[in-house]
Structure 1
Amino acid sequence: MRPLLFTLLAVAAVTASACSAPPEVCVEGSSRTPTPLAPDPKAGLFAFTHAHNDYEHERPLEDALAQKFHSVEADVYYAGGLFEVSHLGFGARGTLKSLYLDPLQAKVDERGSVLGDGAPFTLWVDLKDAHDDLGDALAHLLDQYPMLTVFDADGTVTPGPVTVVLTGDRKMKEAFVREHTPRRAIRDSNDFSPDDPPATSAWGFYALDWGRYLSWGGSGSVPAETSERLACIANKAHQSGYRVRLYNTPDTEAVWQASLDHGIDFLNSDRLAELKAFLESR
């Protein structure tokens, strides 16, 4: 019954999303012309690779690094003082510390950067639940890792080889950046508006649900409306100092190319080897 229940809930969520009007992203004065991503001088187009739900791969983190990915995502539940990595809150394969923070710090200590190319790496921590002591526990954990970018309340940012971005539970991530400074994490928002204020040392990323903002299924040519909406989101975000990730994306070459062409900063994928081959062919 459990798989059937999850399937029904997923279908209901998709149906509800499809029936609601998408948020307004293009307003008068919006730049609707796509601005392609320029290859990073150190990592090329691989600087934009992102492993969605990385922990579900056979070798968490290691499989992504083997394919030259520069960003990974880990869902975490707080339990007994530990941040357990799991999608549904049970069957954890390890902790944030054991699966990600310790291995990443070891690689930085050995190579100077995670992949040895000098390019920055992003670790997205998806907070799946809320607890009163979660923020203090997370701050204490992250403070043990000198590789992490440090953010101060006065806007000062001390870049490190790895940047932690908090996503997921809105109240928890907002409370964390409000209550802890200096801190070794920044937050995202799952909502975009053309009226959003400029990015700060507390909030510097967007993680947006593809199905909420776009209707294209990811095959064939990019529809004009999709192109315009992607351009409006990316151009405004970059103008304001944000970086953009889309999730629940169709995992297709057409979407990967559209993301590159429209300036979406993270190529969200579960198909690690296929995305690597795609980028190597560019």
Structure 2
Amino acid sequence: MYHLKFFSTILLVVVSHTSVGLTQSFQQTPLYRAHAHNDYKQSRPLQDALKNRFWSVEADVFLVDGELLVGHSRDELSKDRTLRKLYLDPLKQYFQVQKREPDEKSPPFTLLIDIKTDGEAVYQVLRNQLREYEELLTSCQDGKTVRHPVQVVISGDRPIEMIEADNPRYAGIDGRLSDLDSDKPSQLMPLISDRWTSHFQYRGKGKMTEAERKKLREIVRQAHAAGRRIRFWATPESEELWKELVDARVDHINTDQLEKLRDFLIPQIQDSP
């Protein structure tokens, strides 16, 4: 009887401690600017991003035998690494507990899906999968946005006309800098992404030139004026560059080094949306 009571006491302490830890982690303000580039290459896809308070992750997908597999190239694919298993189902479970809904001041969690090849074929399968997560995903029906915790954005080989024609639609389009003056509504194209090294000479060492700083801020101003967020890929893993991006109010900062960016952003959290 003594051993049973002792075990029960220990179990209660462990459960209580775990519950407190989960509650505290849920109450932490997300790092809205933190974007896990090629997140599926982390040791624990999605889970490491959430642990580090990231609010945006990227998954590359291929269509293989009717299923969406996650990986950077075909030789990396595995049948047990599906988009459902690594991202859609865990996000559904997470937000069933988390209960955080987006509002005008805080953006939805972004799931950036990069279609590597065969955009139209992939999207036909993807749209059917996304429909099953209606209560999780921000959607658009008859031109009206229905807000939910997660926003899917399609990048890579984007079948733009197919996405645009969907009603209801459970995904948006990732634009490019050439789309800054696009007349597409922000609920269709919520994000503008482009390669940093194609537009800027600054590599995160020393001072950024005033001309490039002005150019960066004008890009952000134009994107925000249209209701779009902005992201650059191929950015050096440099705190000097990250500071320029934060100061310019770039919405998503790419990294493969989750903890490094987390530690940089936490003191900047007052600047988050």
Q: TM-score, normalised by structure 1?
A: 0.78
Pair 1:182 & 2:168 matched = yes
Distance 1:120 1:201, change over 3 A: closer
Q: Which has the higher contact order (CA 8 A, sep 6+)?
A: 1
Give the letter aligned to residue 251 of structure 2.
D
Contact between 2:57 and 2:110, CA under 8 Å: does it hold in 1? Answer: yes
2:125 aligned residue: 137
In structure 2, C-alpha distance between the alignment counterparts of 1:205 and 1:241, rounded to whole Å: 9
1:45, CA displacement in angstroms? 7.1
What are the equivalent positions in structure 2 for 1:59-78 lying under 5 Å apart?
A: 59-78=44-63
1:128 to 116, 119, 129: 116
Contact between 2:59 and 2:112, CA under 8 Å: does it hold in 1? Answer: yes
In structure 2, C-alpha distance between the alignment counterparts of 1:183 and 1:78, rounded to whole Å: 20
2:249 to 263, 276, 282: 263
Structure 1 segments unaligned to the other structure (5+ residues): 1-41
| SS at 1:281 equivalent | helix
Give the letter aligned to residue 151 of structure 1.
C
In structure 2, C-alpha distance between the alignment counterparts of 1:81 and 1:211, rounded to whole Å: 36
What are the equivalent positions in structure 2 for 1:199-210 lying under 5 Å apart?
A: 199-210=185-196
Give CA-to-partner distance per residue, 1:115-169, whole Å, 9 cap, x none: xxx86311000011115533221111001112000112x4211111000011111
| SS at 1:140 equivalent | helix
1:110 aligned residue: 97
**Number of equivalences:** 235
In structure 1, C-alpha distance between the alignment counterparts of 2:95 and 2:107, rounded to whole Å: 11
Moved more, 188-197 or 65-74: 188-197
1:77, CA displacement in angstroms? 0.7
What are the equivalent positions in structure 2 for 1:28-177 lying under 5 Å apart?
A: 46-93=31-78, 94-113=81-100, 120-130=108-118, 132-145=120-133, 146-152=135-141, 154-170=142-158, 172=159, 174-177=160-163
| SS at 2:187 equivalent | coil
Q: TM-score, normalised by structure 2?
A: 0.80
1:232 aligned residue: 218
In structure 2, C-alpha distance between the alignment counterparts of 1:113 and 1:78, rounded to whole Å: 31
- RMSD in angstroms over aligned alpha carbons? 2.0
1:196 aligned residue: 182
1:179, CA displacement in angstroms? 3.0
In structure 2, C-alpha distance between the alignment counterparts of 1:213 and 1:125, rounded to whole Å: 23
Distance 1:197 1:178, change over 3 A: closer
In structure 2, C-alpha distance between the alignment counterparts of 1:167 and 1:80, rounded to whole Å: 22
Contact between 1:135 and 1:175, CA under 8 Å: does it hold in 2? Answer: no
Pair 1:272 & 2:258 matched = yes
In structure 1, C-alpha distance between the alignment counterparts of 2:204 and 2:119, rounded to whole Å: 38
Higher helix share: 2
| SS at 1:199 equivalent | coil
In structure 2, C-alpha distance between the alignment counterparts of 1:119 and 1:186, rounded to whole Å: 14
Larger Rg: 2
Structure 2 segments unaligned to the other structure (5+ residues): 1-26, 269-273
State the identity %.
33
Runs of 4 or more above 6 Å deviation: none
1:261, CA displacement in angstroms? 0.5
1:107, CA displacement in angstroms? 0.8
In structure 2, C-alpha distance between the alignment counterparts of 1:155 and 1:260, rounded to whole Å: 32
